[in-house]
A and B are shown apart, each in its own frame.
Chain A
Amino acid sequence: MKPTFYRSHVLICTGTGCKSSGASQIEAVLAKELEKHNLQDEIKVVETGCHGFCEKGPIMIVYPEGVFYCRVKPDDVGQIVEEHLLKGRIVDRLLYQELHTEASIPTYREIDFYKKQHRIVLANCGRIDPESIEEYIAVGGYEACGKALTEMTPEEVIAEVKSAGLRGRGGAGFPTGLKWELTRKTPSDKKYIICNADEGDPGAFMDRSLLEGDPHRIIEGMIIGAYAIGADEGYIYVRAEYPLAIHRLQIALNQARKYGLLGEDIFGSGFNFDLHIKKGAGAFVCGEETALMASIEGKRGMPRPKPPFPSVSGLWGKPTNINNVETFGNVPYIIKNGAEAFRSVGTEKSAGTKVFALTGKINNTGLVEVPMGMTLREVIYDIGGGVTGGKALKAVQIGGPSGGCIPAELLDIPIDYESLNEVGAMMGSGGMVVMDETTCMVDVARYFLQFTQSESCGKCTPCREGTKRMLEILDRICSGEGQPGDLELLEELGNHIKDTSLCQLGGSAPNPVLSTLRYFRDEYEAHINDKRCPANVCAGMGAPYVIDELTCIGCSLCARFCPMDAISGDKKKPHKIDPEQCIACGVCAGKCPVHAISQAS
């Protein structure tokens, strides 16, 4: 047998983010270098899931010290092996540098990005090899499942999850224990449990990272859920665009079967359960639970009216419980550590933590897990390191295409289900997009509506037709053809679509528009009344640009960048813009070194 003790473990993040920045190549060089120094029997290389700090990838962590190397390039590997792994000398230049002080931080525990996080669901992500069930078991995995199946009744499991106050992490925040109880109480000879890993929100990668980094945790959560509701069969619905997640899940399922953690008579309890993976084609609407079940049944993925709820009539008409990936990821922790421990983190009504995908104009792009109740400001400034380029923050978009934009003035609201709803956003699945002063809020609203409009399945009229009309109005406004009354019309339409759509796709699609109308109405008004985009994003707005002849130095920079070739003039002489050809894109004004160009009023 191969020796099991290694004095040092080198963890390489092989999440999708780090893989795309070159982790595989690094691993190959590392293997060669270790052999060169005859260290291959002393040092173990472990592929892990996402560490979260994708901004700094590829990431390498060296234990026992926990030294955190970032943006590692293949050429750096030789030095890490020779200096650190052989001689014990940390390679300073590859350490993380604190954003504002530029001090080098050796171990990841001391990095601000990690210090304020509270990792329950992501505890193993980046710490264990997701392709090894042995590592998962070694850190305490499947203990909760064993406890539930052999020492607790299904009712006790449900009671524990209820008293933990766990709410669904897939968007709506429905109490998980209650959902399980409803499914348990429906009499039936057959029940199903489903994990929703469709994750359709643009920019979101929480569920993918969790499946890639700790697939056994999700399987364990599902076994416990299945036992609680009395299901013997389950599905994990993952979009086909997540090949690595599917690959690792497949490995994990096979390992769990081999160890008898899936199959018959699990833990000698008499309980039988097995799981299938169903690959989805990646339609946003298939994340909606009834559409998702139709898709598993081989039908077109379209929602149907509720009731009946899945807990009564779900997959193939049988009682079915469906939860999000992250929801299941919390379950083993609750069963193992008790409801009390879980509730000690977070707020009264929103217990535990939430994982967010931090993106947009933020320094530390990545995956973070924070206690509920933390303020947006703490997440964005203390963990996220603030806005890139020191620009001013304008808004935070939370909840993806169903969510809303929260303006900078409200940055001190706590992150919990109720507070976010109050300000017109929603928890959603955890996308958090930071926007700075150069972002046009009308354009942002249009972007999200474009997404939902094209993803509308077309089954119900309000969503199919209504979002189209709203989008037409927004297109108009963004190209300088907005009319008085447009904003009122948007609001009226938006509220009707929300009230009358069949599912929450339409039920939430107007949110990005309504929330920006609420907080950034002046920007809409500037587009309509002044034909001006205050952030200078919407091209083709309003009057042509003109060059001030007295200021112009004749450098011809503007002429070179004009997409219409509308600018002419001799070198060192004042230039001129042909108003007939100018499309008012504003590129010239941005390039002029002496600020001689402005829009004609």
Chain B
Amino acid sequence: MKSLEELRRLRETLQQDMLARNGDGNPRIIVGMGTCGIAAGAREVMQAIMQQVRERNITVTISQTGCIGMCEKEPLMDVQLPGKGRITYGHVTPKDVESIIVQHVINGQIVEDLVVARLEEGEGQ
């Protein structure tokens, strides 16, 4: 360690590692992992999300949820940006994941064609 700057740069890169533990205030991605979701391919969607997040080095919190009663629209994937409503995408394929992440998570543009439900901020949870 030759300077305080060096430590701070190192910390930046290491923080990615700790994301899952300091997730408050990050964009959230939620995948429906009920039996229905898994049967419809939610595991593959999850793996695609993981791959995207790693490749693009973005800051998010990923969690799962159980069946929410929209079984016919599974796999479901929700995106919630800080301070924004929660958008639910349906019939998500691993291929859709990239556009949802790039357009919505990174650039804040909702991918309208895939939306199946919306929750305003503070609603539901």
Contacts and interface: CB of A to CB of B under 8 A. Distances in A.
Given A127-B21, A135-B17, A42 B50 contact: yes
Given A64-B21, A87-B38, A138 B15 contact: yes
B54 A4 contact: yes
Contacts of B14: 134-135, 137-138
Given A138-B11, A142-B7, A88 B64 contact: yes
Contact of A64 (B46, B47, B61): B61
Contact of B20 (A7, A142, A143): A7
B103 interface: no
B65 A88 contact: yes
Nearest to A146: B4
A137 B11 CA distance: 6
Contacts of A4: 16-17, 54
A261 B11 contact: no
A38 B50 CA distance: 13
Given A44-B20, A64-B23, A5 B53 contact: yes
Contact of A139 (B3, B18, B64): B18
Interface in B24-56: 31, 33-35, 38, 43, 46-47, 49-50, 53-54
Interface string A62-99: 01110000000000000000000011110000000000
Contacts of A87: 33-35, 38, 64, 66
Given A63-B23, A87-B33, A7 B4 contact: no
A143 B11 CA distance: 10
Contacts of B18: 128, 135, 138-139
A458 interface: no
B3 A150 contact: yes
A134 B17 CA distance: 9
A499 interface: no
B116 to A, nearest CB: 19
A-side binding surface: helix, strand, loop or mixed? loop
A108 interface: no
Contacts of B8: 143
Contacts of B54: 3-5
B33 A7 contact: no
B19 interface: yes
Contact of B3 (A86, A143, A267): A267
A268 B4 CA distance: 9
B21 A150 contact: no
Contacts of A89: 66
Given A86-B33, A134-B14, A261-B1, A6 B20 contact: yes
A127 B35 CA distance: 32
Contact of B66 (A88, A138, A143, A150): A88
A41 interface: yes
B21 to A, nearest CB: 5
Contacts of B46: 7, 42
A150 B38 contact: no
Contacts of A63: 20-21, 23
Nearest to B32: A88
A211 B17 CA distance: 23
A44 to B, nearest CB: 7
Contacts of B49: 7
B92 to A, nearest CB: 16
A3 B26 CA distance: 20
Interface in B78-125: none
A5 B61 CA distance: 10
Contacts of B63: 7-8, 64-65, 88
Interface string A575-588: 00000000000000
Interface string A356-388: 000000000000000000000000000000000
Which of A6, A89, A138, A142 has the most chain B CB atoms closer than 10 A to its own CB?
A138
Contacts of B65: 88
Interface in A1-39: 3-9, 11, 38
A266 interface: yes
A259 interface: yes
Contacts of B17: 4-5, 134-135, 138
A267 B66 contact: no
B20 A8 contact: yes
Contacts of A142: 1, 7
A9 B33 contact: no
Interface in A104-142: 127-128, 134-135, 137-140, 142
Nearest to B67: A87
B54 to A, nearest CB: 5
Q: Which are the 7 A-B pairs with shortest beta-carbon distances?
A: A88-B64, A7-B62, A146-B4, A138-B14, A64-B23, A260-B1, A87-B33
Interface of A: 3-9, 11, 38, 41-42, 44, 63-65, 86-89, 127-128, 134-135, 137-140, 142-143, 146-147, 150-151, 259-261, 265-268
Interface of B: 1-4, 7-8, 10-11, 14-23, 31, 33-35, 38, 43, 46-47, 49-50, 53-54, 57, 61-66
Given A4-B54, A42-B47, A143-B8, 12 more contacts: A9-B21, A42-B50, A64-B21, A87-B34, A88-B63, A88-B64, A137-B10, A142-B1, A143-B4, A266-B1, A267-B1, A268-B2
25 contacts: A4-B54, A5-B50, A5-B53, A5-B54, A5-B57, A7-B49, A7-B63, A8-B62, A42-B47, A63-B23, A64-B62, A65-B63, A86-B38, A87-B33, A134-B17, A135-B14, A138-B11, A139-B18, A140-B11, A146-B3, A146-B4, A259-B1, A260-B2, A261-B1, A267-B7
